């Protein structure tokens, strides 16, 4: 009993460091939270943006903690902490900046009042737009091939299919803030063998195609329709059935965000091709409705919990690696984990999970020194960062 009250009082003290008002009936919480960011190169606007993002992450954690705490009064602090970190249905619905400015010559501070909510993010238009803004509006492209009542697949290097248009429209119906790339502008450069490899499940080939289109993410898949004759109360009728499959991939890392299958049916079929087209439309719509929550969950985690950045470090001796790893942990904001994936011929590969994201990580590491060498940013994308070590 004594331990229970001690744990409860500790958690209460943590939650009372912010203003938290919980609405049980709507599963929302209003909190005030402060975020900070370093002013790099005198760039106040950039520091303000990063401090705001940090404040929103702090607000999310405080709000989720308040809501979880209200439901777990009989559980110990460790269980409550686990529930906060594993909460997958919470998001920031809206926020206002109530105070901002320099805290000193090197730091910028932003205080926000935010409303957090537990529910389905894809059905909240305002929150969806905010999330897309938080993750810097990733550019998306779609590559799908079709087979409609025939044995041969449509040539994706020649024309865009129905399923691609249906897929994009399903996302845009949720929010016009989704940023789709027009892949027809790069159609002439689309390598047929590479596109076939991507459509047959090669994630690295799909990622390469996405990069060709200038996209951060690619949705790749296929949709096919066939017909079936059925007898109902002595009358024969033809129906069309379709299946659509798809997967979402980050183009810079090749990471698969999710895969799923959609189905569709249309009857009675008067003309096979048009019937197949209707079935493909239904199947693709069904697939999109399953993929959208997966992609939003991936983005939500990036916005609230930090993201894994694939970091390539070139020009490094083996003895430089430990120094670099310690530098990342000391100099970068919100570093959660630094994992070395490999090292060969002066090139090291890391997976660094941090709250600052790849852009923030790049800004904080650029110009830092590792022994007698200086770190320089070579390239940057939504999920990857390339650095080189050169002599000063």
pTM of the model: 0.72
Q: How many residues does the chain have?
A: 392
> Last residue of a domain, which of 303, 336, 364?
303
Q: Which residues contact 386 (CB under 8 A, 6 or more apart)?
A: 311, 312, 314, 377, 378, 379, 380
Query: What pLDDT digit, counting tens, does each position of 320-346 carry?
Result: 999 999 999 888 777 888 999 999 999
User: Is residue 206 within 8 Å of residue 143, measured between CB atoms?
Assistant: yes
Please give the Cα distance from 213 to 231 (Å, whole number): 47
pLDDT exceeds cutoff 50 at 6: no
User: Is residue 90 within 8 Å of residue 117, measured between CB atoms?
Assistant: yes
Q: Which residue has the higher pLDDT, 262 or 27?
A: 262
Mean pLDDT, all residues of the chain: 80
What DSSP state is assigned to residue 160?
-
CATH number, domain of 63, equals 3.30.110
Instruction: Tell me which residue has tokens 């439309």.
Output: 281
Same-domain check for residues 291 and 319: no
CATH number, domain of 143, equals 3.40.50
Same-domain check for residues 264 and 298: yes
Same-domain check for residues 294 and 149: yes
pLDDT at residue 81, as a whole number = 42
User: DSSP for 169-187?
Assistant: HHHHHH-TT-EE--GGGGG
pLDDT at residue 80, as a whole number = 43
Q: What are the backbone angles phi and psi of residue 370, rounded to the nearest 5°?
A: -120, 105
Query: What pLDDT digit, counting tens, does each position of 64-109 carry?
Result: 766 655 454 444 544 444 444 444 467 888 889 999 888 888 888 9
In a domain, 129, yes or no: no
Q: What are the backbone angles phi and psi of residue 382, rounded to the nearest 5°?
A: -65, -25
Largest separation between any pair of C-alpha atoms in the chain: 86
Q: Which residues contact 372 (CB under 8 A, 6 or more apart)?
A: 391, 392
User: Is residue 252 within 8 Å of residue 381, measured between CB atoms?
Assistant: yes
Q: Which residue has the higher pLDDT, 7 or 257?
A: 257
Same-domain check for residues 298 and 312: no
- Residue 28's domain comprises 2-119
Query: What pLDDT digit, counting tens, does each position of 215-249 carry?
Result: 899 999 999 998 887 766 667 778 889 999 999 99
pLDDT at residue 288, as a whole number = 96
Q: Looking at 17-26, 117-126, 256-265, 319-328, which range is the least confident one? A: 17-26
User: Is residue 35 within 8 Å of residue 109, measured between CB atoms?
Assistant: yes
pLDDT at residue 62, as a whole number = 81
Same-domain check for residues 107 and 229: no
Please give the Cα distance from 62 to 20 (Å, whole number): 8
Same-domain check for residues 327 and 342: yes
Same-domain check for residues 111 and 156: no
pLDDT at residue 74, as a whole number = 41
- Would you call 14 helix, strand, or coil by DSSP? helix
Cis peptide before 268 (omega within 30 of 0): yes
User: Is residue 262 within 8 Å of residue 284, measured between CB atoms?
Assistant: yes
Please give the Cα distance from 366 to 150 (Å, whole number): 55
Same-domain check for residues 10 and 107: yes
Same-domain check for residues 161 and 247: yes
pLDDT at residue 38, as a whole number = 81
pLDDT at residue 10, as a whole number = 43
**Dihedral, 114, 118, 122, 126 alpha carbons, nearest 10:** -20
Interhelix angle 272-305/162-174, rounded to 10 degrees, is 40
Q: Which residues contact 107 (CB under 8 A, 6 or more apart)?
A: 36, 37, 38, 39, 47
Count of domains forming the chain:
3
In a domain, 132, yes or no: no
Scanning the chain, the segments in alpha helix (DSSP H) are 2-15, 44-71, 77-86, 125-134, 162-174, 192-199, 203-212, 272-305, 318-331, 357-365
pLDDT above 90 covers what percent of the chain? 33
User: Angle at CA 299, nearest 5°, toward 298 and 300?
Assistant: 95
> Last residue of a domain, which of 287, 303, 319?
303
**Dihedral, 11, 95, 294, 379 alpha carbons, nearest 10:** -100
- Would you call 363 helix, strand, or coil by DSSP? helix
Query: What pLDDT digit, counting tens, does each position of 260-274 carry?
Result: 999 998 888 778 888
User: Is residue 104 within 8 Å of residue 53, measured between CB atoms?
Assistant: no
Please give the Cα distance from 96 to 155 (Å, whole number): 49
pLDDT at residue 387, as a whole number = 95
Q: Which residue has the higher pLDDT, 183 or 277?
A: 277
Same-domain check for residues 294 and 150: yes
Q: Which residues contact 289 (CB under 8 A, 6 or more apart)?
A: 170, 262
């Amino acid at each position: 009993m004594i331990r229970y009250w001690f744990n409860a009082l500790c958690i209460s003290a943590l939650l009372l460091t912010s203003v938290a008002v919980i609405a049980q009936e709507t599963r929302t919480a209003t909190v005030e939270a402060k975020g900070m960011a370093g002013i790099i190169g005198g760039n106040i606007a950039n520091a303000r943006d990063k401090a705001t993002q940090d404040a929103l992450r702090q607000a999310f954690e405080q709000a989720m903690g308040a809501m979880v705490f209200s439901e777990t009064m009989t559980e110990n602090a460790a269980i409550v902490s686990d529930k906060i970190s594993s909460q997958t249905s919470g998001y920031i619905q809206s926020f206002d900046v109530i105070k901002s400015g320099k805290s000193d010559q090197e730091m910028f501070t932003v205080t926000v009042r935010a409303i957090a909510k537990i529910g389905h993010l894809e059905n909240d238009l305002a929150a969806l737009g905010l999330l897309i803004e938080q993750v810097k509006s990733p550019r998306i492209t779609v590559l799908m091939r079709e087979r409609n009542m025939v044995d041969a697949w449509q040539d994706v290097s020649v024309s865009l299919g129905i399923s691609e248009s249906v897929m994009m429209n399903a996302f845009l119906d949720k929010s016009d803030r989704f940023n789709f790339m027009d892949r027809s502008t790069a159609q002439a450069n689309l390598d047929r063998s590479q596109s076939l490899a991507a459509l047959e499940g090669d994630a690295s080939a799909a990622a390469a195609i996405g990069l060709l289109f200038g996209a951060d993410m690619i949705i790749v898949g296929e949709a096919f329709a066939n017909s079936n004759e059925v007898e109902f109360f002595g009358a024969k009728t033809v129906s069309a059935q379709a299946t659509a499959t798809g997967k979402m991939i980050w183009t810079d890392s090749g990471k698969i965000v999710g895969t799923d299958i959609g189905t569709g049916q249309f009857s009675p079929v008067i003309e096979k091709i048009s019937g197949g087209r209707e079935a493909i439309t239904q199947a693709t719509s069904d697939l999109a409705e399953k993929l959208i929550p997966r992609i939003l969950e991936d983005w939500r985690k990036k916005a609230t919990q930090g993201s894994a950045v694939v970091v390539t470090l070139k020009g490094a001796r083996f003895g430089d690696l430990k120094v670099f790893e310690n530098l990342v942990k000391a100099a970068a904001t919100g570093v959660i984990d630094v994992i070395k994936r490999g090292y060969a011929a002066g090139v090291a590969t890391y997976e660094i999970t941090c709250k600052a994201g790849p852009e923030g990580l790049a800004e904080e590491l650029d110009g830092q020194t590792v022994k007698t060498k200086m770190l320089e940013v070579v390239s940057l994308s939504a999920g990857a960062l390339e650095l080189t070590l050169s002599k000063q």
